[in-house]
Amino acid sequence: MTDLIERLRSGLPAEAVLTDPDVTDSYARDMASFCEAGAPAVVVLPRTVEQVRHVMRTATELRVPVVPQGARTGLSGAANASDGCVVLSLVKMDRILEINAVDRIAIVEPGVVNAALSRAAAEHGLCYPPDPSSWEQCTIGGNIGTASGGLCCVKYGVTAEYVLGLDVVLADGRLLSTGRRTAKGVAGYDLTRLFVGSEGSLGVVVRAILALKPTPPPRLVLAAEFPSTAAACDAICRIMERGHVPSLLELMDRTSVRAVNELAGMGLPETTEALLMCAFDTPDPTPELAAVGELCRTAGATEVVPAEDAAESELLLQARRMTLTALEAIKGVTMIDDVCVPRSKLAAMIDGTAEIARRYDLTIGVVAHAGDGNTHPTVCFDASDPEESRRARESFDEIMALGLELGGTITGEHGVGVLKKEWLARELGPVGMELHRSIKQVFDPLGILNPGKVF
DSSP string, 228-293: SHHHHHHHHHHHHHTT---SEEEEEEHHHHHHHHHHH-----TT-SEEEEEEE-SS--HHHHHHHH
Q: Give the pLDDT confidence score for residue 101 in this predicted structure.
A: 98
* Assigned domain for 340 exists: yes
Beta bridge partners of residue 87, listed in sequence order: 43, 67
Do 70 and 27 have their domain in common? yes
Tell me the mean pLDDT in the region 83-111: 98
Q: Give the pLDDT confidence score for residue 266 in this predicted structure.
A: 86
Do 229 and 372 have their domain in common? yes
Do 379 and 291 have their domain in common? yes
Q: CA separation (Å) from 12 to 46, 82, 168, 205, 396?
A: 7, 22, 19, 18, 42
pLDDT above 90 for 204: yes
Tell me the mean pLDDT in the region 357-378: 96
CATH of the domain at 312: 3.40.462.40
* Assigned domain for 450 exists: no
**By the 8 A CB rule, do 327 and 365 touch?**
yes
Do 309 and 334 have their domain in common? yes
CATH of the domain at 177: 3.30.465.10
Q: Show which of 214, 238, 257 is a domain's final residue.
A: 214
Do 309 and 359 have their domain in common? yes
pLDDT above 90 for 215: yes
Q: Give the pLDDT confidence score for residue 355 in this predicted structure.
A: 97
Q: What three-state secondary structure class fits 344? A: helix
Q: Give the pLDDT confidence score for residue 107 in this predicted structure.
A: 98
Do 423 and 400 have their domain in common? no
pLDDT above 90 for 33: no
Average of per-residue pLDDT values in the chain: 96
pLDDT band at 108, cuts 50/70/90? very high
Q: Show which of 158, 193, 214 is a domain's final residue.
A: 214
Do 362 and 330 have their domain in common? yes
Beta strands in 78-231 (DSSP E): 86-89, 96-100, 105-108, 126-127, 163-169, 175-179, 204-211, 213-214, 220-226
* Assigned domain for 452 exists: no
* Assigned domain for 348 exists: yes
**Mind listing the pLDDT tens digit for each residue in 370-383?**
999 999 999 999 99
**Mind listing the pLDDT tens digit for each residue in 390-425?**
999 999 999 999 999 999 999 999 999 999 999 999
Do 320 and 252 have their domain in common? yes
Angle between helix 323-331 and 254-264 (nearest 10): 80
pLDDT band at 1, cuts 50/70/90? confident
pLDDT above 90 for 67: yes
Question: Residue 278's domain spans which residues?
Answer: 220-405
* Assigned domain for 383 exists: yes
Percent of the chain with pLDDT over 90: 91
**Mind listing the pLDDT tens digit for each residue in 248-302?**
999 999 999 999 999 999 888 988 999 999 999 999 999 999 999 999 999 999 9
* Assigned domain for 451 exists: no
Do 208 and 339 have their domain in common? no
Do 290 and 394 have their domain in common? yes
* Assigned domain for 410 exists: no
pLDDT band at 43, cuts 50/70/90? very high
Q: Show which of 160, 182, 214 is a domain's final residue.
A: 214
**Mind listing the pLDDT tens digit for each residue in 315-355?**
888 889 899 899 999 998 899 989 999 999 999 999 999 99
Do 186 and 73 have their domain in common? no
Name residues whose C-beta falls within 8 Å of residue 449's C-beta, 6 or more positions apart in sequence: 65, 66, 68, 171, 200, 201, 202, 203, 204, 443
* Assigned domain for 110 exists: yes
Tell me the mean pLDDT in the region 209-236: 96
CATH of the domain at 11: 3.30.43.10
Number of domains in the chain: 4
pLDDT above 90 for 151: no
Q: How many whole angstroms separate alpha carbon 265 and alpha carbon 243?
A: 35
Do 302 and 401 have their domain in common? yes
